[in-house]
């Protein structure tokens, strides 16, 4: 968390900047590519007033799960790419459609997470989400080696 200021409006103790995406190469009809999941420390913010506060552990746990959700959606993207490849539909057009759909789902999921946990304040919901994301990551563990396809 090395950003000097928060990029979005409104109050926050912390803000995690992460993303998933892909790059592809079409070599005469042979599609290859890679998927990435990244954390951006220089875009991630920690309110200096709370760096040593008693909420620190709760907030860091909450922010870690934002990144874990990003990892989850990187795996979901990879799974769908494998399905496209296996069905003979792996091309630029289908990749763009797929990525747009997965990205919308990801954004809604992140918003739902913040809403239900009240940004880490609701400890009961936070604990539920911790278990849920761990379970979902485990279910997609065979898609964790998504570096190249």
Average pLDDT, integer, range 65-78:
98
Contact indicator for 98, 37 with CB cutoff of 8 Å: no
d(CA 1, CA 95): 32
User: Which among 13-17, 52-56, 85-89 has the top mean pLDDT?
Assistant: 85-89
What pLDDT score was predicted for residue 29? 78
Read off the pLDDT of residues 6-35 as tens digits, 9 standing for 90 and up.
Answer: 666 565 778 889 999 999 888 887 888 999
What pLDDT score was predicted for residue 106? 98
Which residues sit opposite 34 in a β-bridge? 23
What percent of the chain has a predicted confidence (pLDDT) above 70?
Answer: 91
Average pLDDT, integer, range 39-45:
86
d(CA 18, CA 62): 14
Write out the H or E segment, with its range, that includes residue 103: helix 92-117
What pLDDT score was predicted for residue 1? 66
Which residues sit opposite 132 in a β-bridge? none
The owner of tokens 């934002």 is 66
d(CA 73, CA 67): 10
């Amino acid at each position: 968390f090395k950003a000097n200021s928060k990029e979005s409006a409104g109050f926050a103790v912390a803000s995690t900047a992460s993303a998933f995406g892909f790059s592809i190469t079409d070599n005469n009809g042979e599609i290859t590519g890679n998927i990435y999941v990244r954390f951006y420390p220089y875009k991630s913010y920690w309110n200096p007033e709370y760096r040593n506060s008693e909420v620190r552990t709760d907030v860091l746990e909450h922010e870690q799960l934002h990144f874990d959700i990003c990892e989850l959606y990187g795996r979901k993207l990879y799974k769908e790419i494998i399905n496209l490849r296996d069905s003979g539909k792996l091309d630029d057009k289908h990749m763009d459609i797929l990525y747009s759909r997965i990205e919308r789902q990801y954004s809604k999921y992140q918003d739902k997470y913040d809403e239900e946990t009240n940004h880490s304040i609701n400890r009961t919901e936070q604990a539920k989400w911790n278990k849920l994301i761990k379970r979902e990551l485990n279910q997609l563990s065979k898609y964790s080696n998504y570096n190249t396809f």
